[in-house]
Structure 1
């Protein structure tokens, strides 16, 4: 590996590590200020997090968070801030659940149909924001926030008895019609609970994300537009088309977020379906610096912190302390990336200056010798 590549790798690792260390130090100060023992709290979280049942929980949660991070990262690489991932994934999961509950097909047909439906719905919902941006100049931040609210209203309207809603046997909860058993995704048998088989799809999605961005012309154009739209347009790239395409891909990836829960756990869309995962994906994408491996590590960390918060509550600690850790990590990671970026820039400038000075000395020596 070249020296430049090693330095870039070290700088890339330094930022999230610095953010995590600072976040835990700040949290330790907060705990100490409230009369709690910070190292005891961290010890409880670690001991509980490495238990076998916790490991399964963390992997299952991280699968969902990883897909959310990828969906956000696609927009970030294009310099687009897709805040609407949460609405896109919920609307996609709702329509996929409604379709799956209405059909009874062999699993080899029904499962792909449910997944494809979710991706199409997510892509179409994100595509609205892309079209508004390129045709009317509407910021994707504003449009995706509004689309989140509209998605919530659409789901609330349709998930009623007489429309797409279905009452359970007790007559107390409304959800979409439960998926037939043929729609249940495979699992890895572990004790006490299984690992979602959808983790395989998440890994494939991560590989596809890396390959597309790093090894294809489309990925190069996407990153070019993200760095400078005017430069990309001057080189012949259709920037408007790239914006819409990126939003469609981001929304399609967002459609996968709800699939681990739908196909491996709940088998229906109801009031207990998780919300807010899209916003978690923003934090994880930032923490992972939009790299598939970094996003995976960020998703595992987030799931670990959530798992530890439950144990802390039983040990007479405030459960919200984990929210403090997560919030400080997000704040610190932005600051750390900027600090590391400036340090790397100064280091490169110094190295270029040293090379130029060395070349000037060699030229001067040659002139003296002549």
Structure 2
């Protein structure tokens, strides 16, 4: 019992060592960058901290983190399968566009309108990601190449259809092109704890449920076990009876379905239409956040909140005379530090396990020798 408690304690310490080491390394490197630009690092951190804890900043961070969290989950599903779904960006944009068109074309009660829009978005995202999965298992095309090309195709499709006279309209007042505005029944609910700080988007509830579902399926179901097994070793999984090709396609479908939710907070809680200024690039941010969170739902949540915090404080840093790009440097350094720190801790833990096994084998050999000597005597 004491032996297992010691092992669990070591695992806990190693698990905590990686993020602490990563944050320490990111703090040191960022401080050096700030010093190189002639700025005091502690002043910058104090400015970021004081602005980030304001009530309106907290609401902004929660709303932004909701979108980032969904993007991180979509990428993490592929990562756990050893698949690099780099096409989340195209999947969520195409899904949001089609969902906006469908939602704007019908007028149903809210309890029908909202599920319709969300389901359409998930189906479109799943179908777009599923194409990459089929190309991989059917023709051996790398999912990285396939999803990159599908991103470009999605951009072209949206650009073609998002034009006046097709599936969009020209707003004479703002000179912007957008789809039909969703009816009020297609607007998602919000929370307003502090009217001065603004509303918290209700889609945060859906994001939390998606995270719980991700954890449950991955850790408490046969499908999740098979998914993790295939991600660790395809040959071993196939030898145990797992249909690897089916798992690849299924994982890409699920990843794409979650990616379809990424644009929903913006569509249902903010813009209520798809316009030329719809947010882009969130899928690539999701890659960094999944890496930060080590594909764990709780870790992804922390990474999403951290990324949203840095986004929020970047403008305030610029207002106080700092280069806005400093935050971009911070984000890049944090990702690199996390990747390097976790790899160092992993190797250290593996080395300790190997030494422990060697010691146990040596002890067993010594006991065996002692027994033989006693029998001989």
Same fold (TM over 0.5): yes
Greater Cα offset, 348-357 or 16-25: 16-25
- 2:269 is the counterpart of 1:264: yes
Question: Contact 1:16 / 1:288 at 8 angstroms: preserved in 2?
Answer: no
State the alpha-carbon separation in 2 of the partners of residues 32 and 289 from structure 1: 31
* 1:7 corresponding residue in structure 2: 10
Q: 2:318 aligns with which of 313, 322, 332?
A: 313
State the alpha-carbon separation in 1 of the partners of residues 9 and 69 from structure 2: 26
- 2:351 is the counterpart of 1:360: no
* 1:96 corresponding residue in structure 2: 99
* 2:223 corresponding residue in structure 1: 218
* 1:252 corresponding residue in structure 2: 257
- 2:60 is the counterpart of 1:44: no
Query: TM-score, normalised to structure 1's length?
Result: 0.97
Give the secondary-structure state (helix, strand or coil) at the position aligned to 1:273.
coil
Give the aligned CA root-mean-square deviation in angstroms: 1.3
Give the secondary-structure state (helix, strand or coil) at the position aligned to 1:174.
strand
State the alpha-carbon separation in 2 of the partners of residues 162 and 223 from structure 1: 47
Question: Contact 1:160 / 1:166 at 8 angstroms: preserved in 2?
Answer: yes
How far residue 125 of structure 1 moved from its aligned partner, in angstroms, is 0.2
- 2:190 is the counterpart of 1:187: yes
State the alpha-carbon separation in 1 of the partners of residues 158 and 69 from structure 2: 24
State the alpha-carbon separation in 1 of the partners of residues 161 and 321 from structure 2: 42
Deviation readout 1:280-333 (Å, 9 max, x if unpaired): 000000010000000000101101111110110110000110000111112222
How far residue 93 of structure 1 moved from its aligned partner, in angstroms, is 0.5
- 2:113 is the counterpart of 1:110: yes
* 2:297 corresponding residue in structure 1: 292
How far residue 103 of structure 1 moved from its aligned partner, in angstroms, is 1.0
Give the secondary-structure state (helix, strand or coil) at the position aligned to 1:167.
strand
How far residue 350 of structure 1 moved from its aligned partner, in angstroms, is 1.2
State the alpha-carbon separation in 1 of the partners of residues 255 and 237 from structure 2: 20
Question: Contact 1:15 / 1:336 at 8 angstroms: preserved in 2?
Answer: yes
Greater Cα offset, 337-346 or 109-118: 337-346
Q: 1:119 aligns with which of 118, 122, 127?
A: 122
- 2:184 is the counterpart of 1:178: no
Greater Cα offset, 172-181 or 184-193: 184-193
- 2:209 is the counterpart of 1:204: yes
State the alpha-carbon separation in 2 of the partners of residues 355 and 43 from structure 1: 51
Q: 1:147 aligns with which of 147, 150, 153?
A: 150
Deviating runs (4+, > 4 A) in structure 1? none
* 1:279 corresponding residue in structure 2: 284
Deviation readout 1:35-82 (Å, 9 max, x if unpaired): 101110011001111111111111111110000000000000000000
Query: TM-score, normalised to structure 2's length?
Result: 0.95
Deviation readout 1:107-142 (Å, 9 max, x if unpaired): 000000000000000000000000000011000000
How far residue 368 of structure 1 moved from its aligned partner, in angstroms, is 4.0
- C-alpha change, 1:122 and 1:6, in structure 2 (3 Å) is farther
Q: 1:162 aligns with which of 165, 180, 193?
A: 165
State the alpha-carbon separation in 1 of the partners of residues 170 and 361 from structure 2: 75
Give the secondary-structure state (helix, strand or coil) at the position aligned to 1:56.
helix
Question: Contact 1:129 / 1:140 at 8 angstroms: preserved in 2?
Answer: yes
- C-alpha change, 1:190 and 1:339, in structure 2 (3 Å) is same
How far residue 171 of structure 1 moved from its aligned partner, in angstroms, is 5.3
State the alpha-carbon separation in 2 of the partners of residues 14 and 114 from structure 1: 43
How far residue 190 of structure 1 moved from its aligned partner, in angstroms, is 2.6
Q: 2:71 aligns with which of 64, 68, 71?
A: 68
How far residue 159 of structure 1 moved from its aligned partner, in angstroms, is 0.5
Give ranges in structure 1 of 5+ residues lacking alignment: none
Q: 2:135 aligns with which of 132, 135, 139?
A: 132
